[in-house]
Structure 1
Amino acid sequence: MHYVTSGQGPVVILIHGLFGDLDNLKALAKALEDSFTVVRVDILNHGASPSVANMDYRSLADSMAKLIQQLPGSQAILVGHSMGGKIAMATALCYPELVSKLVIADIAPVAYESRHDKVFSALESMPLAEIKDRRQALAHMKNWGIDDGTAQFLLKSLTRAAQGFSWKMNLTGLKASYANIIDWPTFSHSYQGPCLFVRGGDSDYVSAEHRQAIITQFPTVKAKTIEGTGHWLHAQKPTIFNRIVKDFITNN
């Protein structure tokens, strides 16, 4: 798994969401690196990490555990957004001895309905060999009904190739794994360490109906809502988000 490290102190691993890469939580890394060793990872099938045919939360937890064991110290603090939050939760549930604290951004430990079909279609139909610049790529995404903010985020994974462009992410592997990504496995234990859930006030990813699933699996949980933000809360109100995360991992 590809990763970059900055700062010094207790280890904090930042885990991005679906279609992202290690730069997604870069602002948070900068806010933490004066007090922590910050590790930003590219999840498998994303960024510069290896491509795999299929992935699920137990195998991703295994990969994260191996990474933690390679880093200084015996434990790490995990901070994950969306799919990255599910990876962080799965790692804490499978390897609680390796996870000292947990921060989950706008995702719950539950199965979700499919909501990315249009995104996959837009990405897969991109004429990579023919487009000349990002402006054309953006127009293609908008023609598929992808809003500007989401399109700009997705196009961060577009990179110039010998002819045209290519995707940094492994779309084939992600599509094959999508049923696992929106699902959630059953775990036999709860995680007893300090845990914070941060949700966007306008997001539908974490709702009242998820409360019992969260408390059952993470009984020490604390919760914060950032009003006026959706699922991309860390990008919409980064100063508030970064402060909430730093306060929690420093003082709990």
Structure 2
Amino acid sequence: MTDPVRLSARTLGDSGPRVVFVHGLFGQGRNWTTIARQLAEDGHRVTLLDLPNHGHSPWTEQVDYLDMAGLVAAELTALGEPVTLVGHSMGGKVAMHVALRSPELLRALVVVDIAPVEYPETGGRSDDPDEEASPFAAFIAAMKAIDLDALATREEADAALRPAVPSTMVRSFLLQSLVRDGVGAGGGWRWRLNLDTLGRDLARLRGFPEPPAGAHYDGPVLWIAGANSHYVLDPDRPRMAELFPLVRLVRVKNAGHWVHSEQPEVFVETVRRFLQQVET
């Protein structure tokens, strides 16, 4: 019998209410470390999960929201008490499905810059005619194009990604998943990302599987969006309110899709205030 898949997890803090973070596409739990430390200092136990095909978690044969939600739900069950679940982008969609299918596992939900909708492959999320197409396929192609056997330094990888990934912040984010095993001539580079499977199933990740008939999550929900992002638009609000009746939307100025990296102080303070409300 095959052993069940367990996600890689790391917890900061020894006591207090539990908060669990789920990263987005190409990310890993460690992306949340700075924020997690601040919340742990506030008296929380903060768990950082690596989703399948990312970080230190196992690779799977397909990338599917319901599969990922089931694996996250299993980890939350093992914690033994309700948590505040925070998810960004792809992780936000996973978190929403956990809330809709296993609401007893959550005290509250934080959804970061994503909506329960299907996203188009090319633009179309704003009135801006110059809006760029979704860059994720180009990111995967650029990462796969790097000859890891010939790669000498991380700086070379950064330079190779620059044409497809002009943002220094995003390149640094992607390169966190490029690791070297060993040192010297015998040390080889590899991606902790399952790029082949992620690339093949990218269209599936743009969608949002239909929740069970009549499903809704009645707990408190904080919806954080970057004011400059096209991932959360006004037409998305009715569907969000239908699934999450107690949702409250906060738009963060001078931030795009990676709102927690672009405006970390505002993001942390917003989450702190929400936690104070739901934990009293």
TM score, norm. by length of structure 1 = 0.96
Q: CA deviation at 1:163?
A: 4.1
Bigger shift: 233-242 or 146-155? 146-155
Aligned partners of 1:11 and 1:76 also within 8 Å: yes
Q: Which of 72, 97, 101 is residue 108 of structure 2 equivalent to?
A: 101
Matched residues in 2 for 1:24 and 1:113: separation?
Answer: 26
After TM superposition, give the deviation of residue 148 of structure 1 in Å. 2.2
Task: Return the offset for 1:144.
Answer: 3.1
Q: CA deviation at 1:98?
A: 1.1
Task: Give yes or no for contact 1:11–1:38 (8 Å, CA) kept in 2.
Answer: yes
Match status 1:139 vs 2:159: yes
SS at match of 2:107: strand
Measure the CA separation in 1 of the matches of 2:152 and 2:201: 30
TM-score of the superposed pair, with normalisation by structure 2: 0.86
2:28 pairs with 1:4: no
Q: One-letter code of the match for 2:29?
A: L
- Select which of 222, 227, 249 maps to 1:196: 222
Identity, in percent, stands at 35
> Where does 1:16-55 land on structure 2 (aligned, <5 Å)?
16-33=23-40, 34-55=42-63
Supply the distance in 1 between the matched residues of 2:258 and 2:16 (Cα, whole angstroms): 28
Structure 1 contact 14–80 (Cα < 8 Å) conserved = yes
Q: Which range moved further: 170-179 or 87-96?
A: 170-179
Between stretches 90-99 and 161-170, larger displacement belongs to 161-170
Contact 2:29 2:49 in 1 (8 A): yes
Does structure 1 residue 205 correspond to structure 2 residue 213? no
Q: Is the 8 A contact 2:137 2:202 kept in 1?
A: no
C-alpha distance in 1, partners of 2:46/2:217? 22
Instruction: Give how far 1:31 is off.
Output: 1.7
**Which residue is equivalent to 1:156?**
176
Q: Letter of the aligned partner of 1:78 in structure 2?
A: L
Task: Indicate yes or no: 2:76 matched with 1:56.
Answer: no
Gaps of 5+ in 1: none
**Other-structure match for 2:3:** none
Is 1:81 equivalent to 2:101 in the alignment?
Answer: no
Q: Whole-Å Cα distance in 2 between the matches of residues 120 and 145 of structure 1?
A: 10
Residue 143 of structure 1 aligns to a residue in which SS? Answer: coil
CA contact (8 A) 1:201 1:228 kept: yes
> Secondary structure of the residue that 1:25 maps to in structure 2?
helix
The answer to whether the 8 Å contact 1:130/1:164 transfers is no
Match of 2:194 among 170, 186, 189: 170
C-alpha contact (below 8 Å) 2:137/2:199 kept by paired residues: no
Residue of structure 2 in register with 1:179 after alignment:
203
Matched, 1:125 2:151: no
SS of alignment partner, residue 23 of structure 1: helix
5 Å-filtered alignment, 1:64-75, equals 64-73=72-81, 75=82
| CA distance in structure 2 between the partners assigned to 1:145 and 1:57 by the alignment | 26
Deviations along 1:60-117, one digit per CA (max 9) or x if unpaired, are: 11111110111132x1210011111111101001111111100011110111123212
- Alignment-derived partner of residue 247 in structure 1: 273
Partner of 2:91, secondary structure, is helix
Corresponding residue SS for 2:111: strand
Q: Structure 2 CA distance, aligned partners of 1:99 and 1:172? A: 33
Are the equivalent residues in 2 in contact too, given 1:11–1:72 (CA < 8 A)?
A: no
- Please say which structure displays the higher CA radius of gyration: 2
Cα offsets for 1:4-58 (capped at 9, x unmatched): 0111212111011100111111122112113211100111100000000102111
Counterparts of 2:68 and 2:59, CA distance in 1: 13
Query: Aligned with 2:84: secondary structure?
Result: strand
Residues 134-143 or 162-171, more deviating: 162-171
Asked if 1 retains the 8 angstrom alpha-carbon contact of 2:165 and 2:171, the reply is no
Q: What letter matches 1:247 in structure 2? A: R
Which residue does 1:219 correspond to in 2?
Answer: 245
Please report the RMSD computed on the Cα atoms of aligned residues, expressed in angstroms.
Answer: 1.3
Cα distance, 1:229 vs. partner? 0.7
Unaligned runs of 5+ in 2: 1-6, 122-133
1:112 corresponds, among 89, 101, 119, to: 119
1: CA distance, partners of 2:68 / 2:155: 34
